[in-house]
Amino acid sequence: MKTVTRSTCCYCGVGCGVLIEAEDGRITGVAGDPEHPANFGKLCSKGMALASTAQSDTGRALQPELRTTRDAARVPVTWDTALDTVAQRFADIVAQHGPDAVAFYVSGQLLTEDYYVFNKLAKGLIGTNNIDTNSRLCMSSAVVAYKMALGADGPPTCYEDLEHAQTVLFAGSNMAWAHPVLYRRLEEAKAANPDVRWIVVDPRRTDTAAMADLHLAIQPGTDVALFNGMLHHLIWEGLIDREFIAEHTSGFDALKTLVRDFTPRVAAEICGIAEQDLMQAAEWFGASSAALSLYCMGLNQSSHGTDKNLALINLHLATRQIGRPGAGPFSLTGQPNAMGGREVGGMATMLAAHRDIGNPAHRSEVEALWGLEGIRTLSDRPGLPAVELFDAVRSGKVKAVWIACTNPVHSMPDIARVREALSTAEFVVVQEAFMQTDTVPYADVVLPAATWGEKSGTVTNSERRISRVRAAVAPAGDARADWWIAAQVAQRIERLVGSPVKLFEHASPEAIFDEHRVLTKGRDLDIGGLGYATLEALGPQQWPFPDGAQTGAARRYTDAVFATADGRARFHATRYLPVADPVNARYPFRLLTGRLRDQWHGMSRSGRTAKLFAHASAPALSIARGDAARRGLREGDLVRVASRRGSLVLPLQLSDELQSGSVYAPMHWSAQFLASGGINETTVPAVDPLSAQPELKHSAVRIEAVDLPWRAVAVRRGEMLAMQAALQPLLAECTYAALAVEADDLIVLRAANLAAPPGWLERLYTALDLATGDDTLEYRDARRGLDKRVVWRDNMIDGFVMAGDTANADALLADLRERKPWVGPRFTVFAARRGNTAPRERTICSCKQVGETQINAAIARGADVAELKATLGCGTVCGSCVPELKRLCAAAAVAH
C-alpha cells in the first residue's frame, strides 16, 4: 500500500515541510510540502536526497547491545536487559557518588518530546543539571546574547522579513549552503527589487559572499571590532535613533564611551578591510528603511561569541532596526530542533520554558508543575556545559555518561580529549540510529534509536515555528523512539529508588507535548493554546501562542517593550578581544572550519547516498593559491595540518576564496570515511566565558608536505553501505585514507602511506570480496612493491585494487562508472598505460546531474544563468546550485 505522510526535513533549522511517500513499510520518495510556510514546496539538495538515505537498514542500529565486562565485545541483548542495566548502573552510581556523578549529552536533532523527557529525567528525577547538548557547540552564544540584550531567548523576526528587508547583513553565515531554502527566498526578493543591498561579513568568499553588493572579508574573529566601528560611524553620521534609545533601552552611554576609540580607521585596520567599506556598510545598515541581519556560526563559535552577538544587536537597537517588518537581528538556528531544545530547557544552564536554574522562584515553579513538592527539590548547582562535561568525565568526576543523537567523538573540539574521556568513563551509553559513528565504539550499551521517517513529535524552526513530525514507516529492526527509551529507563529508576511519584507514564508524544505546553504558560514562549489538535487544524504555528490565540506571533517587540523587567532592551559595551589560539611562527595559519553544501555533520546519514558526494567527493584543506605557491605546494598534495593539540593529513585544494594566512576545512569527514577523526583533531577547546561555546571557527595550525610514496586505490561495485562498513576498519592503518561513494553502487578508497601496512592488502581483498578466482586477475612485483588485482563480471570490470602504482586507477574507475565493456585480453589491464585521464569532474547540479565541464563549456559559448537553466536544466529543481552557477558566470565575465 502507498502512503503519503506530512512531516519535516531532519536537517537544518529552516525546518522545511516534506511529504514522505512510502510503500509496504519502505520510504520510496520525498517531496517538498507545498503548504508548509517555511518552504512552500521547495527543498534543497539534502532534502531532495532524503529518501535515498533512508531506504536501507544496512548500518542501522537494529538491536540493543551490551558489553558485560570492560574488555569484552558488545553482544546483542533484549530491550529489557539493556534498559534494566542502564537504570541499575545510573542508580548505583548516583547512590554511591551523588547525582552529579552522571551526565547526559543530547542533541538539537532530538524532537521536543524526546528532549523534554531527557531533561525531566536528569533534572526532575536524578537531580542533576548535568545535561548538556550539541547546541552548546552551536547556539549557546546566541541564546545568552538574546537574553542579555532583549530579555528572552527568541528571535524577534520571522521568515517573511526576508522579503521585507532592504538591507541584509549576513554575519558569519554561509546561507547559500547552510540554509539554502531561505536563501532562495532572499534571492527572489533581491531579483524582484534591485535596490535591496546585501552585505556579507565572512573571512572567506563563500557562495553567499559572491552574491553580495559588499563583502567584508574580515580577519577571523574580528567581528566585534567591525560592529563597534560601524556603530561609531553611525553615531558620527547621526544615523542613530536617539528617541528610541532614550525611551526603550538602557546602557547606551557606556557603549558610546567604548566605541569612541573604534573609529572606522582603527576598526578597519583590526579587521583587515578598507575603511571606506566599513563606513559604507554602516550607512547602508543605518539609513535603510529595514535592515535585517542573519547570523550563524561565524559569530557564535568563538571564544567571545556572546560579545559578537551583542555587538551586532547593539547596531539594531541604536538604529531601531528591530520590531518592524524586514528589520531585526535574526539568529539562524543550525539543527532542526535547536529551538525546541531551548524551549524545554534542555541544557546544563537552563530550566524548562526559558527558566533559569539560578532562580529559586523558577525552580519552585517547575517543582510544582512536575508534582515534586515535598518529595524532592531541583538542584541549584549549574550543570556542566559540553567541554567541561567531557573534561569531568576524563578526570573521573563524572562516572557515567549517556549520549543521545550526537557524535561527540567527531564534533567536539580537540577530540583526543573526548576519546580519552570516554575510554576512562565507568559507563557509557550511546543512543544512536547508525552504527558506524565515531562515538559508538566507546559505548558499553548501544540503544538503537528510531530516526527520521520513523518518529513522531514536534520541532521548532528558526522563526519559532512549531511543526509536527510524523512517522511514515515503522522503526528499523528493534529501534525505538528516543522519548520512549528515556522514559523506560526513568520508570525503572523510579522503581529502583522507590519514588513516590511516577513522572514518566506518558503514553504518547502528544501527552508529553501537553505537559510541556503547560510549563510555558505565562512565559515569553507561552504555547498554552497550542496542542497537536491545533497543529493538525491550523498547520505549523509560531510561538508565542497563548490560550485563546487564533494564530502565533510573527514578530516580537513590535511595541518596543522588551522581555526585561523594566521593558527596556539593554546595550552592552562589547570590547574587542583576540582569538584564543593565536598564530605565531610555529603555527602561522588560521584554520577556519565549516560546512559543505551537500553533507550533514558527521555524514552518518548524508554519507549514505552517492548523490551527496558528487559536489565534493573527498575531504580537503583549502588554501590561498599564493600561500601554496610560496611553499611549493600543489593542488592534491597531501599535507599534514597540525595544531598545538593534534594533526591529520588531508589533500590540498587551491582556492580563490581565502585570504593569505587562512586555511579552511569542512567539518564533515570523520573516522567513518577518513584515516583520522577529522578536523577536530586540531581545533581548540577554548570557550566563551558567558556561553561556554567553544571556538570551533579558529585554531592556529601549521601545514607541512608529507612524503607518502606508497599509494593505493581500491574500487568495487556492490552494496555500498555494506562495503563501507567492511572498509572502515582499514582506514586508520594508513596515514591518509578516504572513502567516497559514487553512483550508489561504487565505493572508492584512496590511501597513502610510507609503505603498505602489514597484512593490509589481504584484508582489503577480503573486505572487497576480491578473492582470486576465474574472474580475478592478479599482478605482483614484490621488488617494486606492486600489488594489483582486477575482477570482472561478464565483460565489465567489477572492481580493482591498484597498490604501489596507481597510474591507471582513474581510467579504470571511469570504465566502471560508465559501465564500459572491457575489450582485448584481460591481462593488458596491468600493462596498458592509459595516459592521463581527467579526474572525475564535480557535479554542480545534483538534481539534474550536471557537471562543471558542461556548465563551463556553455558559459564559454556565452550562456548566462537563465540560458544554463534552459539548455542544461541545472538549477531548475531545488536551486541549491544557483549561487554557484552565478559565480561561474561572473568568474567567466571577469576573465574576459
Helix pair 415-424, 386-395: axis angle to 10 deg: 40
Q: Which is nearer to Mo ion, 83 or 139 (CB)?
A: 139
| Interaction partner, residue 411 (ligand SF4, ligand MGD, Mo ion, none; CB < 5-8 Å by kind) | ligand MGD
| Bridge partners, residue 216, by sequence | 201
Number of residues that bind ligand SF4 (CB under 6 A): 14
Number of residues that bind ligand MGD (CB under 6 A): 60
Q: Report if residue 47 touches ligand SF4, rule: CB under 6 A.
A: yes
**DSSP code, position 101:** G
Q: 85-114: which residues touch ligand MGD (CB under 6 A)?
A: 107, 109
Q: Which is nearer to ligand MGD, 264 or 757 (CB)?
A: 264
Among 7, 39, 306, 406, binds ligand SF4 (CB under 6 A): 39
Q: Which is nearer to Mo ion, 138 or 372 (CB)?
A: 138
Least distance in Å: CB of 132 to ligand MGD?
Answer: 12
Q: What does the per-residue mask of binding to ligand MGD show for 603-642, with x meaning CB under 6 A?
A: -xx-------------------------------------
Taking contact as CB under 6 A, which single stretch among the options 215-223, 468-476, 721-729, 779-787 is the one that binds ligand MGD? 215-223
Cell 589533500 belongs to 651
Among 22, 27, 43, 471, binds ligand SF4 (CB under 6 A): 43
Q: Which is nearer to Mo ion, 334 or 678 (CB)?
A: 334
Please give the angle made by the CA atoms of 15, 19 and 23, to the nearest 5 degrees: 140
Q: Of 589, 570, 665, which is closest to residue 627 (Cα–Cα)?
A: 589
Least distance in Å: CB of 31 to ligand MGD?
Answer: 20
Q: Which residue is nearest to ligand SF4 (CB)?
A: 47
Q: Of 726, 624, 616, 625, which is closest to residue 667 (Cα–Cα)?
A: 616
Taking contact as CB under 6 A, which single stretch among the options 78-86, 268-276, 431-439, 859-867 is the one that binds ligand MGD? 431-439
Q: What does the per-residue mask of binding to ligand SF4 show for 8-27, with x meaning CB under 6 A?
A: -x-xx-xxx-----------
Q: 162-181: which residues touch ligand SF4 (CB under 6 A)?
A: 179-181
Cell 504555528 belongs to 541
Give CA–CA dist 809/815, Å, rounded.
Answer: 10
Q: What does the per-residue mask of binding to ligand SF4 show for 291-310, with x meaning CB under 6 A?
A: --------------------
Q: Report if residue 463 touches ligand MGD, rule: CB under 6 A.
A: no
| Interaction partner, residue 14 (ligand SF4, ligand MGD, Mo ion, none; CB < 5-8 Å by kind) | ligand SF4
Helix pair 264-271, 223-236: axis angle to 10 deg: 160
Amino acid at 452: W
Q: Report if residue 178 touches ligand MGD, rule: CB under 6 A.
A: yes
Q: Which residue is nearest to Mo ion (CB)?
A: 334
| Interaction partner, residue 491 (ligand MGD, Mo ion, ligand SF4, none; CB < 5-8 Å by kind) | none
Is residue 594 a contact partner of residue 666, using CB atoms and an 8 Å limit?
A: yes
Residues 6+ apart with CB under 8 A from 602: 407, 410, 411, 437, 438, 668, 670, 672
Give CA–CA dist 518/681, Å, rounded.
Answer: 43
Most distant CA pair in the chain: distance in Å? 87
Among 675, 679, 749, 751, binds ligand MGD (CB under 6 A): 679
Least distance in Å: CB of 47 to ligand SF4?
Answer: 2
Taking contact as CB under 6 A, which single stretch among the options 5-13, 223-231, 656-664, 717-725 is the one that binds ligand SF4? 5-13
| Interaction partner, residue 228 (ligand SF4, ligand MGD, Mo ion, none; CB < 5-8 Å by kind) | none
| Interaction partner, residue 466 (ligand SF4, Mo ion, ligand MGD, none; CB < 5-8 Å by kind) | none
Q: Report if residue 602 touches ligand MGD, rule: CB under 6 A.
A: yes
Least distance in Å: CB of 106 to ligand SF4?
Answer: 20
Please give the angle made by the CA atoms of 250, 252 and 257, to the nearest 5 degrees: 150
Give CA–CA dist 140/299, Å, rounded.
Answer: 11
Q: Which is nearer to ligand MGD, 348 or 777 (CB)?
A: 348
Q: 4-23: which residues touch ligand MGD (CB under 6 A)?
A: 12
Least distance in Å: CB of 298 to ligand MGD?
Answer: 2
Which residues in 815-849 are b (16+ Cβ under 10 Å) and which e? bbeeeeebeeeeeebbeeeeeeeeebeebbbbbbe
| Bridge partners, residue 5, by sequence | 20
Q: Which is nearer to Mo ion, 403 or 614 (CB)?
A: 403
Taking contact as CB under 6 A, which single stretch among the options 141-149, 167-175, 566-574, 809-817 is the one that binds ligand MGD? 167-175
Is residue 135 a contact partner of residue 406, using CB atoms and an 8 Å limit?
A: no
C-alpha cell at 571: 546595550
Q: What does the per-residue mask of binding to ligand MGD show for 787-806, with x meaning CB under 6 A?
A: --------------------
Task: DSSP for 158-206, please give it.
Answer: -TTHHHH-SEEEEES--HHHHSHHHHHHHHHHHHH-TT-EEEEE-SS--
Alpha helices in 193-335 (DSSP H): 207-210, 223-236, 242-248, 252-259, 264-271, 275-286, 297-300, 305-318
Q: 348-407: which residues touch ligand MGD (CB under 6 A)?
A: 404-407
Residues 6+ apart with CB under 8 A from 83: 485, 488, 489, 492
Q: Which is nearer to ligand SF4, 156 or 180 (CB)?
A: 180
| Interaction partner, residue 221 (Mo ion, ligand MGD, ligand SF4, none; CB < 5-8 Å by kind) | ligand MGD
Least distance in Å: CB of 733 to ligand MGD?
Answer: 23
Q: Of 180, 160, 177, 161, which is closest to residue 169 (Cα–Cα)?
A: 161
| Interaction partner, residue 592 (Mo ion, ligand SF4, ligand MGD, none; CB < 5-8 Å by kind) | ligand MGD
| Interaction partner, residue 16 (Mo ion, ligand MGD, ligand SF4, none; CB < 5-8 Å by kind) | ligand SF4
Question: Residue 254 CB: number of other CB atoms within 10 A?
Answer: 12
Q: Of 610, 448, 595, which is closest to residue 55 (Cα–Cα)?
A: 610
Residues 6+ apart with CB under 8 A from 399: 93, 97, 101, 102, 393, 425, 426, 427
| Bridge partners, residue 200, by sequence | 170, 215
Q: Of 452, 460, 445, which is closest to residue 481 (Cα–Cα)?
A: 452
Among 593, 643, 676, 806, binds ligand MGD (CB under 6 A): 593
Give CA–CA dist 821/689, Å, rounded.
Answer: 62
Give CA–CA dist 707/638, Å, rounded.
Answer: 8
Q: Which is nearer to ligand MGD, 418 or 777 (CB)?
A: 418
Q: Which is nearer to ligand SF4, 460 or 653 (CB)?
A: 460
Residues 6+ apart with CB under 8 A from 307: 224, 572, 574, 575, 577
Is residue 61 a contact partner of residue 449, using CB atoms and an 8 Å limit?
A: yes
SS (H, E, C) 781-824: ECCCCEEEEEEEECCEEEEEEEECCCCCHHHHHHHHHHCCECCC
Contact positions vs Mo ion (CB under 5 A): 138, 334
Amino acid at 390: F
Taking contact as CB under 6 A, which single stretch among the options 383-391, 460-468, 677-685, 719-727 is the one that binds ligand MGD? 677-685
User: CA end-to-end span of the chain, whole Å?
Assistant: 57
Taking contact as CB under 6 A, which single stretch among the options 175-183, 487-495, 829-837, 838-846 is the one that binds ligand MGD? 175-183
Among 7, 36, 37, 46, binds ligand SF4 (CB under 6 A): 46
**Residues in the site for ligand SF4, rule: CB under 6 A?**
9, 11-12, 14-16, 39, 43-44, 46-47, 179-181
**Residues in the site for ligand MGD, rule: CB under 6 A?**
12, 46, 107, 109, 134, 137-138, 171-175, 177-178, 201-204, 206, 220-221, 223, 296-298, 301, 334-335, 404-407, 410-411, 431-434, 437, 449, 451, 455, 482, 592-595, 597, 599-602, 604-605, 667, 679-680, 683, 696-697
